[in-house]
Structure 1
Amino acid sequence: MSLFRRNRASGPGLRPELGDAELGRVRRQLKSPGLPGQNAIQVDQVERLLRETGPDWDRRGHRFAVLAETAAPSSLARNWRLRRAQNADALIFEAWVELVRGRFAGRMDDARAAADNCYTAADLAPEDPTPWVVLLGILRVMRADSRELIAVWHEVAERDQWNREAHLQMLRYLSPEECGSRSAQLNFVDTVRSSAPPTAPTAGVELTALVDEHARTTAGGGVEALLVRRQWTHNRAVNALDTALHGWSRLGGLQHAAAAADLNLLAFALIQSGRVGESGGTFRLIDNAVTAWPWSLIGDPLQEFTYWQSRATA
């Protein structure tokens, strides 16, 4: 797990920073009531926090994602870009904020402007995969042609082969709900599983696909929804859970920035498969950093997490 300071004493909570104490501090600042001059201070804090990650693309992407989600209701991103028109981070941040808004609305008001920000940022920082990661998300919201998406995918892979966010964007793009099919998703999962190191930032891709399938079946209703637990008895699901249990649920098993999110995913999958007794170690490693998804699939995330945590660790 992460070496960043944790919050064991405070109990379970929705903490998108996932143990990154500095990120959590800045995130709380962004959510605080506005004061005169506060916006300029917040811009400086965000700029510094992102600059400090250097070429740690995994940590950098995690911080961008959390901060963009937090800043989406405000004008912070636009103000930063106006102050620093040739700053790659400012351009990426505004594009990511627009992407967050677009995901929520189901469409982007000006996808071309957001994409242009990404291309400009890529020119300013050619070694950075982040502009291409955001562009991949924009193309996904636009339901762009697969050839255009794959070209951007290759740009990411050339710079950060196991980029977590990019892999999750591709997985969802290839889903039956978007521009692909179940078989396209499974082929993608098989490719990742056969080539990526088992504890790379992409470790959660297969479990994400399985939980997506679980949610898809449940939403469809009928007899299949009532028997959804049977999906977790298939060889693919059993092998994925066993691999994760042996490789992730131990100290040092996962080291990427969003490791706690993948451990939430594993705990949820174990619960849904009826393997509650085996999930105790995973809940302990999560260390109270609860993610809204996938617990929101079955109810209030904090209530569901707390209930199953207490049962698993009793």
Structure 2
Amino acid sequence: MAPDTFRPVYHPAGQDMELRAALQDLRTGRWLSMRDLLAATNDWPLWTRRTQVLAAVAAGSDTVQAWRTEEPESSAAAVMHCRVVVERALRAHRDGHRRTQELWHEAWEACRLAAHLSPEDPVPWVCLLALARLDEGQRLEEHRTAPPGPMLFPGPWGLLAQADKRDPYNREAYHRMLQFVYARRAGGHLAEAVNFVQWASSAAPLGSPLKALPLYVRVERHRRENGHEKALDLHWVTDDAARDGRLALHDWFDVVQPAACTLLDLSHLAHALWGSLQFADAARVFEALGPFWTTLPWAYRTSDPGDAGLAEEVFLRARARCLTAARDAGPGRGPYA
């Protein structure tokens, strides 16, 4: 497809066609496909990702509750209920809803019940980590335990350890911890975030998506500095920025199958490589994205991050630039357009 006619597609399931089918049924109030999909999901990273995406859709309906009513002994239904009520609590907190405290308590109870019914599952602990950001003053003791290393902060390390015990280096667990860092103090502390992601990514094994974690903090710093307003943005072409992109490329992307990568991680890597002028390498990541895209981090390159159309324009310009560079690099380096 020629670059000038290409239009990217956003879908929460990305390249997971089985998840896409389950989401379609879920949107019409049917839960059997969701149940069958989860029953066939036999590894924790995929289970974590699928339950998260399903919950984002199910949170606006009573479909999961209908499943629980029909199959009250189902541990998968209990985990999905936990997911849904946590999603609702997080949305209420973001919107400043008066029922936030009530929903937070309900979600906490649902997480504890799911952890009891499915003791090997990391998701209830990931969900408890997600709720930790609501405790902005770190009033709860489990949210201010001592860190496991120097240069780190008091936080919900026990919850992270429980998730790690069940699924070492669970992607969502560490991203939830990063969100906690941002919410820990008014305005957030990027130095704490940098220390955390460097600690996590350096400990993670080859092929772990946590190798891309530093790219998220770099985007957050760029966002806070209003980088889109600068005529010449040097943020992405520094040696440190280029190194972060290369490390994520070689230690994560080059080690795993692209289908196992989340669209958001791929988008952050493509963005980082493009921003640091590593165009030919970025083209390989754009290839892995295929027809898909995500609005972030591209939206932060625009004057209005809420305008998806502007974000798409940035994405398309970056993609075209990188594909052209890969074609110009010669045989063996040119991806499809």
Report the TM-score when normalising by structure 1: 0.82
CA distance in 2 between partners of 1:249 and 1:154 (Å): 26
Aligned residue for 1:3? none
CA distance in 2 between partners of 1:78 and 1:228 (Å): 52
Aligned residue for 1:216? 224
TM-superposed deviation, 1:61: 0.7
Aligned residue for 2:144? 146
Aligned residue for 1:7? none
Q: Is the 8 A contact 1:200 1:256 kept in 2?
A: no
What RMSD over aligned residues (CA atoms) do the two structures have, in Å? Answer: 2.6
Q: Say if 2:94 is the partner of 1:95.
A: no
CA distance in 2 between partners of 1:95 and 1:228 (Å): 46
Q: Is the 8 A contact 2:88 2:103 kept in 1?
A: no
CA distance in 1 between partners of 2:37 and 2:226 (Å): 40
1:204 aligns with one of 208, 212, 234: 212
Q: Which moved more, 1:199-208 or 1:159-168?
A: 199-208
CA distance in 2 between partners of 1:249 and 1:212 (Å): 21
CA distance in 1 between partners of 2:259 and 2:122 (Å): 16
Q: Say if 2:109 is the partner of 1:116.
A: yes
- Aligned CA distance change for structure 1 residues 142 and 49 (closer, same or farther; 3 Å): farther
CA distance in 2 between partners of 1:177 and 1:228 (Å): 32
Aligned residue for 2:320? 310
TM-superposed deviation, 1:294: 1.8
Q: Which moved more, 1:261-270 or 1:86-95?
A: 86-95
- Aligned CA distance change for structure 1 residues 241 and 228 (closer, same or farther; 3 Å): farther
Aligned residue for 1:282? 285
Structure 2 portions without partners, runs of 5+: 1-5, 146-154, 325-337
Report the TM-score when normalising by structure 2: 0.77
AA of the residue aligned to 1:267: A
CA distance in 2 between partners of 1:204 and 1:81 (Å): 36
AA of the residue aligned to 1:308: A
Three-state SS of the structure 1 residue aligned to 2:210 is coil
Higher relative contact order (CA 8 A, sep 6+): 1
Rg (Cα) greater in structure? 2
- Aligned CA distance change for structure 1 residues 26 and 141 (closer, same or farther; 3 Å): same
Q: Which moved more, 1:94-103 or 1:207-216?
A: 94-103
- Aligned CA distance change for structure 1 residues 76 and 296 (closer, same or farther; 3 Å): farther
- Aligned CA distance change for structure 1 residues 101 and 306 (closer, same or farther; 3 Å): farther
Deviations 1:50-93 (A, max 9, x none): 12113x00000110111111222222123223333342222221
Q: Trace 1:1-314 onto structure 2 (pairs within 5 A).
A: 12-31=8-27, 34=28, 39=29, 42-54=30-42, 56-105=43-92, 106=94, 108=100, 109-143=102-136, 144=138, 145-147=143-145, 149-175=156-182, 178=185, 181-218=189-226, 226=230, 229-248=233-252, 250=254, 253-254=256-257, 257-276=260-279, 278-297=281-300, 298=302, 299-300=307-308, 301-314=311-324
Q: Is the 8 A contact 2:190 2:217 kept in 1?
A: no
- Aligned CA distance change for structure 1 residues 227 and 88 (closer, same or farther; 3 Å): farther
User: Size of the alignment, in residue pairs?
Assistant: 291
Percentage of matched positions with identical amino acids:
27
Three-state SS of the structure 1 residue aligned to 2:225 is helix
Structure 1 portions without partners, runs of 5+: 1-9
TM-superposed deviation, 1:277: 5.1
CA distance in 2 between partners of 1:71 and 1:292 (Å): 22
Q: Is the 8 A contact 1:233 1:273 kept in 2?
A: yes
- Aligned CA distance change for structure 1 residues 257 and 61 (closer, same or farther; 3 Å): farther
Q: Which moved more, 1:177-186 or 1:206-215?
A: 177-186
AA of the residue aligned to 1:226: K
CA distance in 2 between partners of 1:11 and 1:167 (Å): 32
- Aligned CA distance change for structure 1 residues 197 and 228 (closer, same or farther; 3 Å): farther
Aligned residue for 1:6? none
Q: Is the 8 A contact 1:264 1:290 kept in 2?
A: yes
